Amino acid sequence: MILDRFRIDGQVAVVTGAGRGLGAAIAVAFAEAGADVVIAARTKSQLDEVAERVTAAGRQAHVVPADLSDIEATAALAAAAVERFGRLDIVVNNVGGALPCPLLDTTPQSLVDAFNFNVTNAHALVRAAVPHILETAGGGSILNITSTMGRLPGRAFVAYGTAKAALAHYTKLAALDLNPRIRVNAIAPGSILTSALEIVAANDAMRTQLETKTPLHRIGDPEDIAAAALYLVSPAGKYLTGKVLEPDGGLITPNLDLSIPDL
């Protein structure tokens, strides 16, 4: 049965930024497909809620409250998975972000911070996870969450967009280094209705702009990304590596104008 190829029964996944939004949706989707999950984020109460959803799906969740801007804390999640569940198959680098800021107000340190949070942290976890994946599972899958702003130019996104573009290319480079036993792919979401977009979506004019400038005329939901994530890490996606999937409603230009004035 073709649906069996979307099962990840008995596997173990680490999902960062899993307290809400995309990370929470991905963790729950993996549990529904048969995996146990290590979920990490800053806020324990949010993780506990996600863990309850994992348990309701019949799987186990190991909650790790952590400041994931700390590279060592992020890297330690790989060992935590093996210690708790005895193996590691899947890593999802979902933590990241940077606030919009006009170029001339973006300091060099802002670029450094964005790169560290979005790329260096991901690399730290990948580097820590690979030996565990090879030793305990024989092979596996790594998934990086980038952004449509890593490929589409938009004003005020020089730090965030540059970092996400770097993560997308990192995905391709890492895939070559880790072939054939570990697949590395990425997802570049468009506008998804998570807490990060709530302020924008609550404004009728801005929400209308997002929807009308998206070819599919709607904002995405976290399950759209979770479904893509499951495809990429499961046997259904076993012939893909080094690829960036773009579930963004068909965007070819940015769908939100932040009204940054011309110089």
Catalytic residues: 160
Q: At what angle do helices 121-136 and 158-178 cross, to 10 degrees?
A: 20
Task: Let me know: does 103 contact 124? Beta carbons within 8 Å.
Answer: no
User: 180: cis peptide before it, omega within 30°?
Assistant: yes
Please, which residues have CB within 8 angstroms of residue 83's CB and are 6 or more apart in sequence? none
| Gap between the Cα atoms of 167 and 193, Å rounded | 22
Q: What is the DSSP letter of 33?
A: T
Of 121, 123, 30, 133, residue with least CA distance to 79: 133
Question: What's the Rg (C-alpha) of the chain?
Answer: 18
**DSSP codes, 197-221:** GHHHHHSHHHHHHHHHTSTTSS-B-
Q: How many CB atoms lie within 10 A of CB 128?
A: 20
Q: Which residues pair with 187 in a beta bridge?
A: 145, 245
